Structure 1
Amino acid sequence: MHNSSLPHPLNLGAFAFREATDAGISRRRLRQPDVAHVHRGLYAPAGAVADLREDCINTLSLLGEDRCFSHLTAARLWGIPVPFAWAASEPLHVLAVRGAEPLRRPRIVGWESAAHPGEMSQGMIPLVSPAATWAQLSIPGATGTDLETGRKRALPLRWLVAAGDYVLTGPRVSGIRVPLCTRDELVEAVDARHGRRGARALAWALERVRTGPQSPRESLLRLALVDHGLPEPVIQPPVQTADGIRHADLGYPEARLLIEYQGDHHRTDARQWREDLHRQQLFEDAGYRVIAVTIDAFTDDCAALAHRVRRALVGRFSTG
């Protein structure tokens, strides 16, 4: 069983070192046996991923050549962020292609598709491509069933954007981000669903998907600011500081205003706190105002934060 002590969404799949520190995970914690060191700079929860992969491997004999893992199961395997935790009782999603019959078994959600969505593999595990997986998340039932209402659940619109940001940006491997797909592949995946379930949601999300966000919260923050009528902030704007080029999470370079999302690591990890304080001082010494944002900003859908940002922008432009 997976270790629930890792915070969501790190308990879902592979995550980068910075994503761990943003969630308040120290270097010492990453060396514990319930965290697998997949690659330099890339980690995974040993329990959750192992359990899910083991479930998939144990199901391979049922798949044959014309079925592969899809929808929420593929999203978990690719590490695509979703706003709910993995559970050992979660069914596996399996897609049948090329006329194969959809699987009907306990703890398996069987899907079928006349069109082949593009298939890849992780070791011996066949699954749909990252772009196709992203598109599938827009379909009712793709992420399971709401236990309270009994309604089939699709990925919420804003999280669909965050998921798209992730597949374009990719996990960090050996210090660099490795994209899981290209924007053209996302466009093709959206076109393939034209006139079908989830098509409207995909079209809406595709317009808002961007490359560069380092976490789902940064994606959600960007969307919230735009929803409140603010200009879209620049993602990872480069800032020339006394210690070289540094990149802020979000910002309005012309107004010399930066927005930094701070996870719990600012409170729990002394080393990370010092690094972030130094980083903020570098930005401020370079002539930028920095607005620090925590998870509490989302309690009112970022309305108060948007008001602060708006006032800061007006003040900068009026005095500039």
Structure 2
Amino acid sequence: MPRQPTPLPDALTTGPFWFREAIDFGVPRRRLAASDLTHPHRGVYAPAGADDQLAACESALPLLGEDRRFSHLTAARLWGMPLPFEWRSGEPLHVLTLPGAEPLRRSGIVGWESADRPGGALVGPFPVVAAADVWAQLSVPGATGRDPETGRRQTLSRVWLVAVGDYLLTGPRAPGGKRTPLCSRDELVAAAITRRGKRGAKALTWALERVRAGAQSPRESMLRLALVDRGLPEPAVQPPIATSAGIRHPDLGYLEERVLIEYQGDHHRTDPAQWREDLRRQQFFEDAGYRVIAVTIEEFADDCFALALRIRRALRGRSYGA
């Protein structure tokens, strides 16, 4: 039976620590090679077995100090921003060094420098670039890493910049359903201004004109954009509708024409409670005199061409199935 590693001093068991700290506590060098420790960065050790995003960020905390912050893709994940791809083990961490400090160059770290001083915040124990500035950073080539096949630096698409902007103005859902915005529109405008004349500026300008508060999922944001792209008027986002059960908010709506649009993700189909709630909501809206058009993921396959046609007919006052 393998021998258990000798216990570390308590001060070194709560998170990452520097090699020099371990030596100062009298930990032998050979102890640092034991299987219960990882060596994520040069000079840094951390408890093994926590191979997830937060553990990866925690392992880099000793490298940051006061002049560095998580930025770009890493900060976006810490803020909970919606992104088109999940975190994967081994994903490099993005770190921004503020003016006057030495840039960070280490394996597993994508080091960024800035002539400006973007706003900062704490997300839990993690120092991050302010949410609006992260949104602007996501337009920069390399902000979301490199394509694994071509090696080209990747960035967030214009549509996804809108989805992220919508999320920031709406805020994450807290227990009880309340949402608190992570930034204001003015902060998004200010962040976009810092990118003027730089790569990504046009994408930010395009996205900023289309960002709306209230959208509660990326698919809702993309649906709104797709309908406008198909020549339809822009629908209202989460408009208040008076029903017999009180004020309810559909995903999108054309209030003058009394046409509402509800996006039904897969969980609406697989969760019986959600399915029943969807039926109740639709009945409330219809009893209040509105036509409800339910949309599923399959209707995105043709860039919403057929869906846009169906909605256009509804807006013209045609009957169901016309």
The TM-score range, normalised by the shorter chain, is: 0.7 to 0.9
Inter-partner Cα distance in structure 1 for 2:200 and 2:121: 22
- Which of 256, 271, 287 pairs up with 2:289? 287
Shift of 1:316: 5.6
Shift of 1:62: 1.5
Inter-partner Cα distance in structure 2 for 1:115 and 1:269: 47
Amino acid at match of 1:142: A
Q: How does 1:119-130 map to 2 (within 5 A)?
A: 119-130=120-131
Name the structure 2 match of 1:11: none
Q: How does 1:210-229 map to 2 (within 5 A)?
A: 210-229=212-231
Name the structure 2 match of 1:55: 56
Q: What SS does the corresponding residue of 2:52 show, helix, strand or coil?
A: helix
Q: Deviations over 1:55-106 (max 9, x none)?
A: 1121122222211100000000000001011101110000011222321111
Q: Deviations over 1:242-290 (max 9, x none)?
A: 1111111001010000000001123211111111101101111111111
Name the structure 2 match of 1:158: 159
Q: Deviations over 1:218-251 (max 9, x none)?
A: 0000000001111000001111111111111001
Inter-partner Cα distance in structure 1 for 2:62 and 2:90: 20
Name the structure 2 match of 1:275: 277
Q: What SS does the corresponding residue of 1:300 show, helix, strand or coil?
A: coil
Q: How does 1:107-146 map to 2 (within 5 A)?
A: 107-146=108-147
Inter-partner Cα distance in structure 2 for 1:226 and 1:149: 33
1:195 matched to 2:220? The reply is no
Name the structure 2 match of 1:186: 188
Name the structure 2 match of 1:67: 68
Inter-partner Cα distance in structure 2 for 1:160 and 1:230: 21
1:177 matched to 2:179? The reply is yes
Q: What SS does the corresponding residue of 1:254 show, helix, strand or coil?
A: coil
1:263 matched to 2:265? The reply is yes
- Which of 246, 249, 258 pairs up with 2:248? 246
Inter-partner Cα distance in structure 2 for 1:269 and 1:170: 24
Q: How many percent identity over aligned positions?
A: 69
Q: What SS does the corresponding residue of 2:105 show, helix, strand or coil?
A: coil
Q: What SS does the corresponding residue of 2:301 show, helix, strand or coil?
A: helix
Aligned CA RMSD, in angstroms, stands at: 1.6
Q: Deviations over 1:11-37 (max 9, x none)?
A: xxxxxxxxxxxxxxxxxxxxxxxxxxx
Inter-partner Cα distance in structure 2 for 1:186 and 1:195: 17
Unaligned runs of 5+ in 2: 1-48
Amino acid at match of 2:99: R
Deviates more, 1:129-138 or 1:99-108: 99-108
Provide the aligned length of Structure 1 versus Structure 2.
270
Name the structure 2 match of 1:36: none
User: When the two structures are superposed, what TM-score results if normalisation uses the length of structure 1?
Assistant: 0.82
Shift of 1:301: 1.2
Q: What SS does the corresponding residue of 1:172 show, helix, strand or coil?
A: coil
Inter-partner Cα distance in structure 1 for 2:220 and 2:67: 38
Inter-partner Cα distance in structure 1 for 2:171 and 2:318: 34
Name the structure 2 match of 1:149: 150
Inter-partner Cα distance in structure 2 for 1:149 and 1:229: 35
Shift of 1:172: 1.5
Q: Deviations over 1:180-227 (max 9, x none)?
A: 001111111011111112111111100000100011100000000001
Name the structure 2 match of 1:167: 168
Inter-partner Cα distance in structure 2 for 1:124 and 1:242: 45
Inter-partner Cα distance in structure 2 for 1:167 and 1:58: 27
Unaligned runs of 5+ in 1: 1-46
Larger RCO: Structure 1 or Structure 2 (Cα < 8 Å, ≥ 6 residues apart)?
1
Inter-partner Cα distance in structure 2 for 1:131 and 1:212: 17
